[in-house]
């Protein structure tokens, strides 16, 4: 795959500082992050509809032992609401995209699953 066709999806905690190469930044959480004022965060969109459902988020409760099952269930949810991916897919065509999340665990959160889904299922 040539560099111009690579889809760069970065993952960051919403509390991390923005960087020049972040590209378009999307908050992919159903709830607004604690302690963050809306005007203090640089985002291009809040895509709460594509975030894990409230039921799934509560069930997972950021428990790593539930990770594989969470990934499977959340991927199924994404399949059901793919139209909400359009802002991210459009932005990827123009450059980098950063998915912002609020979880403390950088390896076990919805943004990780979402990024994997997009990279696996979007065509170049």
For the chain, the structural domain boundaries read 3-121
DSSP-derived 3-state class of residue 27:
strand
Please give the helix or strand (H or E) that residue 90 lies within, else none.
helix 86-94
Residue 11: predicted pLDDT: 97
Q: What is the pLDDT of residues 53-105, one digit of tens each?
A: 999 999 999 999 999 999 999 999 999 999 999 999 999 999 999 999 999 99
pTM for this prediction: 0.90
Task: Report, as an integer, the average pLDDT of 3-20.
Answer: 82
Whether 98 and 10 have beta carbons less than 8 Å apart is answered as yes
Q: What is the pLDDT of residues 104-114, one digit of tens each?
A: 999 999 999 99
**Rounded-to-integer distance, Cα 26 and Cα 70, Å:** 21
Beta strands 97-101; 9-13: pairing state: parallel
Residue 2: predicted pLDDT: 40
The residue whose two tokens read 């709830």 is 31
pLDDT at 4 > cutoff 60: no
pLDDT at 124 > cutoff 50: no
Q: What is the pLDDT of residues 37-54, one digit of tens each?
A: 888 889 999 999 999 999
* Reported confidence tier of residue 123, pLDDT bands at 50, 70, 90: low
Half-sphere exposure of 52 (CA within 13 A, CB side): 26
């Amino acid at each position: 795959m040539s560099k111009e066709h690579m889809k760069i999806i970065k993952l960051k905690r919403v509390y991390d500082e923005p960087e020049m190469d972040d590209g378009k930044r999307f908050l992919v959480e159903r709830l607004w992050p604690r302690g963050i004022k809306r005007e203090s965060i640089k985002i291009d969109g809040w895509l709460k509809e594509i975030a894990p459902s409230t039921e799934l988020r509560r069930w997972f409760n950021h428990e790593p032992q539930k990770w594989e099952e969470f990934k499977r269930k959340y991927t199924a949810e994404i399949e059901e609401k793919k139209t909400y991916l359009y802002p991210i897919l459009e932005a990827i065509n123009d450059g980098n995209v950063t998915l912002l999340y609020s979880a403390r665990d950088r390896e076990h959160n919805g943004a990780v699953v979402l990024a994997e889904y997009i990279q696996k299922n979007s065509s170049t």
